[in-house]
Structures are given as structure tokens and as C-alpha cells.
Amino acid sequence: MQVKACQLCGKLAPVTHTCRQCKRKVCEACFKHEVGVCSKCHSRLEVETPLLTFPMKLFLLGFALIFLGIIFLIASSILYGNVQTTTGVVIFVGPIPIILGSGPYSFLAILFATILTILGIAFFLLLRK
């Protein structure tokens, strides 16, 4: 173990690790053990690889939240009976639309939700280009 300046942060610390990528000798704080590289190379690796899965996680999270919201709405309408709330939800599972509605104006709410969903899809497709 040598005590000298870390080649990444410049701190005088026990330089115990060598980065696999850039061969810098770095201190404990600058080394990512799970990948065997310094924090600088690690941040660069992160930009290159796992970003592909990140929007997918967001999508799944959003889907889970929508699902939870629907369960909550259904549960509250069952629990509280004739509450004057109007709910309309349209979910697309692939090409299959699931339309849920409750309340006295559910038809209008569903219509509104359908229009919003179509607009949302159109907007999404436009942004992808």
C-alpha cells in the first residue's frame, strides 16, 4: 500500500486500486469495486450502456402507477358507493384498449380520456421522429 496523491481527485490517500480502463492509480473513494474502474470511467460507462433500459424502467413505473390508481379508484367507488365522482380511464396494453368508467357522466369522461389518449399517442409518435 502506497500513500501518495490519488490520480483522480488529487487527495493524499492510500492509493490502493488501479482502474482497469485508464490504469490510473486511485484512492478508495474514487474506485468502483463492482466494475473495477475509477469513478471517472464509471460515469463514462454509465452513459454508454444502461441508458437503454432506463426509459423502459420509467415506462414500467408509470404503468404500475396507473394500475395502482385504477385499483384505488375502483376500490373507493366500491367502498363509498354512490359518490358523485366521474371517472373514465383508457389504457392501451399493446393494441388492446381497456376502457373503464364510473359515475353519472362516465360516457363523457371515457370520450375525453379516449381523445386524450389518442392525442398522447400522436404526440409520442411525433416526438420520436
Cβ at position 49, least distance to Zn ion in Å: 15
Three-state DSSP class for 61?
A: helix
Distant-in-sequence, close-in-space partners of 30: CB < 8 Å, separation ≥ 6 = 6, 8, 9, 17, 38, 39, 40
* Cell digits of residue 63: 404503468
The answer to the question of residue 90 lying near Zn ion (CB under 5 A) is: no
Query: Out of 17, 25, 38, 109, which residue is the one contacting Zn ion (CB under 5 A)?
Result: 38
CA angle 88, 120, 66 (to 5 degrees): 50
Query: Out of 30, 89, 90, 113, which residue is the one contacting Zn ion (CB under 5 A)?
Result: 30
The answer to the question of residue 89 lying near Zn ion (CB under 5 A) is: no
| Binding residues with Zn ion: total (CB under 5 A) | 11
CB 127 within 8 A of CB 103: no
The stretch among 17-25, 58-66, 76-84, 103-111 that binds Zn ion (CB under 5 A) is: 17-25
Q: Which residues bind Zn ion (CB under 5 A)?
A: 6, 8-9, 19, 21-22, 27, 30, 37-38, 41
